[in-house]
Structures are given as structure tokens and as C-alpha cells.
Amino acid sequence: MLIVFGGLPGTGKTTISRALAARLRAVYLRIDAVEQALRDSGELSGEVDAAGYLAAMALARSNLEIGHTVIADCVNPVPESREGWVTVARTAGARLLQVEVICSDVAEHRRRVEEREADIAGHLQPNWEAVQARDYRPWSEADVVIDTARLTPEAAVAGLERLALQDGPL
């Protein structure tokens, strides 16, 4: 099974996806970590662009093909990145659960963005203005939308765990 998270920075994706990965003993792929590793390598002459997503998708496919559950923690902002994950799941013959994480309380979302600290060495967290300016398109194909202004991370993880463990299509 492939569980793909998406949503703007500061909505709670990492908190929920990391906890769910621990609960399911799933492979956890965090795009921020992949992208920072690519920057740290010194091999890129410009922006990371799609390279982080492509690397993570290759790792996801390899793990899905040997039967692991994979959780991808990413902003997943545009239809092209989302379709890439759909293709990974289809190619590997895996179930796909697409999870969008939002925070409908703008003041709370801003507080989270402004107060959080980087947990990846060298990674620069976006400020509130950058989050607001981010190109993030509506995600009508998401199977689940979690509003972290209304649902605790623990409740979100419990609900997603139930969905992940059910048999058959979502």
C-alpha cells in the first residue's frame, strides 16, 4: 500500500505521516529530507525542482514491489506530482490512499509556520509569506481530507490506520 500525503507546509503532514508510519511499520519517505540530501550532495547546479519527487518515487516503487507499505510525506502541490504517485502505485500493483492535510484556522496555521523549527540539518523552513505564495492546486482526487484545526493528530492517525488496514479498494 502507498499512502501519499499532501498539503501546505505547517498543516501537520509530517506529524501525522511520521506517526502513521511508526504505527504501521511502514517505509517513510519525506520529500524535505530527500531534497535536502540532494542539495547537500553539491551535484545540483540549480534548484531541486522535480528531482526530490522522482528520487522518492523510485524508492517508493522499489519498496512497494517487495511488499512494504510506503508513506510519502510531501507538499504534493500540483496535478503532475500527484499523478506521479498514482503511476507508482499502479506500476507496483499497490493500493493507494491519497491524504490531503489542511488547517482551516488561518491564525493557527500561521502560528505553526512561524514557530516551528527545522528538524533536518540545513533545511530552511518557509516563512508565512512563502507558504501563502506557494503554488498549491485543489486536490479533488484526495481520498481523505484531514483538517488539523478540527482533528487531533492522534485521531487522524487512528482513522488513517483503520483505512490502511481494511481490505479491498477504498
| Residue ranges of domains in the chain | 2-165
pLDDT per residue as tens digits for the range 74-89: 999 999 999 999 999 9
Residues in the chain: 170
For residue 169, is pLDDT > 90?
no
Quick one: pLDDT at residue 168? Answer: 57
Beta bridge partners of 135: none
Round to whole Å and give the CA distance between 91 and 24. 22
pLDDT digits (tens, 9 = 90+) for 105-114: 999 999 999 9
CB 26 within 8 Å of CB 20 = yes
Question: What's the Rg (C-alpha) of the chain?
Answer: 15
pLDDT band at 45 (very low <50, low <70, confident <90, very high): low
Cell 484526495 -> residue: 142
Class of domain 2-165: alpha beta
Instruction: Report residue 81: phi and psi, to 5°.
Output: -70, -40
The more confident residue out of 110 and 167 is 110
Q: What are phi and psi of 148, to 5 degrees?
A: -75, -5
Residue 111 backbone zone (phi > 0: left; psi -120 to 50: alpha; other: beta):
alpha
44 has pLDDT over 80? no
Q: Give the C-alpha distances (Å, rounded to integers) separating 148 from 66, 70, 105, 170.
A: 33, 22, 9, 22
pLDDT, tens digit (0-9, with 9 covering 90-100), for 47-65: 888 999 999 999 999 999 9
**Which residues contact residue 64 at a Cβ distance below 8 angstroms, ignoring those fewer than 6 apart?**
1, 2, 70, 88, 89, 92, 93, 94
Residue 34 pLDDT exceeds 90: yes
Task: Give the number of other CB atoms < 10 A from CB of residue 79.
Answer: 14
